[in-house]
Amino acid sequence: MTDTNVIERRSLHLELVERIRLLIVESHLKPGDKVPEKDLCERFRVSRTPMREALKVLAAEGLVRLEPNRGAWVTVVTVDEVEEVFPVLGALEALSGELACTNITDAEISHIRWLHDQMMQSYTDRNLADYFKTNQEIHRAILLAAKNQSLTNTCQALSARMQRARYAANLSEERWADAVSEHEQIIQSLEARDGNQLSRILVQHMKNKQESVVKWLRKTTTDQETSAI
C-alpha cells in the first residue's frame, strides 16, 4: 500500500512547496501559527534542507515570514494588503484575458471548458475544496493561454499571497453563487474570443472577490475582538 504522505524524490522541491501551501490555504496552518518544520519533515519524510528551501519560496510568495533563529510563521492577511493587491491582480487578469482571446488555441479552449464543467459539478456537490482547486486551474489556464511569461510570473506571485483569503471568503453561499455566474460569463467570452468583454468580466470578477474577502476579514477581526472581551 502506498503512503500518500511520502513525496517522490524526482519532484521533491515542487511537491513540498505545493503541499505546505495547501496546508496554509485550507487553514490547517492558520494565520499567526508557527510552521512546525520538524513535524512536517517527519510527515513528508524529507530532511531539513529541502524543507527550508520550500519555506523560502513560500516566504517570497508572502504566505510565511522567516525570522532568524525563530523559524517560519504563517503570515496574517490584512484588509490593507487585500485592497492593495486585488486591483493589481484585476488589471493583470484583465490583460491575460485580452491576450488569451488573441493567442488561445481550440485545444486550450476545449480544456478550459472541460475544467469549467468539472468546477460546476463541484459546485453542485458543494465540494468547496475541489471547486477552489479547479477554479484556480481555470484562471491559470487562461493566464498561460495569454502566452506572456512576464505576465504569468507577476500574476502568479501576487495570486499566491491571496489564495488563503480567497478560499475562506468563498464559504459565503451568496458569493459562491455569484462567482459561478461570473465564471459562466468568462467561459462564454473566451469561447467567443471576445477579449474586450472577457477583460471587463475579469476586472469585475476580481472586484467582487475583493469585496467578499474584505468583508470576511473584517468579520473575522470583529469576532476575534468580541471573543477577547
More confident residue, 1 or 135: 135
* Domain span including residue 171: 79-228
Number of domains in the chain: 2
Task: Summarize pLDDT for 164-218 with one digit per residue, the tens.
Answer: 777 766 567 888 899 999 999 999 999 999 999 999 999 999 999 999 889 888 8
What are the residues whose beta carbons fall under 8 Å from the beta carbon of 151, sequence distance 6 or more?
92, 95, 96, 99, 143
- Whether 35 and 94 map to the same domain: the answer is no
Within its chain, how far is the Cα of 143 from the centroid?
A: 13
- Give the domain CATH number at 150: 1.20.120.530
Does pLDDT of 148 surpass 90?
A: yes
- Whether 112 and 68 map to the same domain: the answer is no
- Whether 63 and 84 map to the same domain: the answer is no
For 58, phi then psi, to 5°, come to -65, -30
- Whether 154 and 167 map to the same domain: the answer is yes
Residue tagged 512546525 (cell numbers) = 36
CA distance 127 to 170: 11
Query: What's the pLDDT at 229?
Result: 40
Residue 3 resides in a domain? no
Query: What's the pLDDT at 168?
Result: 67
Query: What's the pLDDT at 171?
Result: 63
Residue 4 resides in a domain? no
| Domain final residue, candidates 74, 95, 127 | 74
In angstroms, the first-to-last Cα distance of the chain is 50
| 3-state DSSP assignment of residue 229 | coil
| Domain final residue, candidates 59, 74, 89 | 74
CA distance 119 to 89: 22
Query: What's the pLDDT at 170?
Result: 59
- Whether 84 and 67 map to the same domain: the answer is no
Residue 204 resides in a domain? yes
Query: What's the pLDDT at 199?
Result: 97
27-31, 42-46, 62-66, 166-170: range with lowest mean pLDDT: 166-170
- Whether 113 and 195 map to the same domain: the answer is yes
Contact criterion met (CB below 8 Å) for 159 and 151: no
pLDDT class of 132 with cuts at 50, 70, 90? confident
* Mean pLDDT of all residues belonging to the chain: 88
pTM of the model: 0.77
Residue 146 resides in a domain? yes
Query: What's the pLDDT at 218?
Result: 87
Residue 41 resides in a domain? yes
Residue 2 resides in a domain? no
- Whether 203 and 154 map to the same domain: the answer is yes
Does pLDDT of 93 surpass 90?
A: yes
pLDDT class of 227 with cuts at 50, 70, 90? very low
Query: What's the pLDDT at 228?
Result: 43
Q: What is the CA radius of gyration of the chain?
A: 19
Q: Which three cell numbers stand for residue 7?
A: 513525496
Percentage of the residues of the chain whose pLDDT score is greater than 70:
90
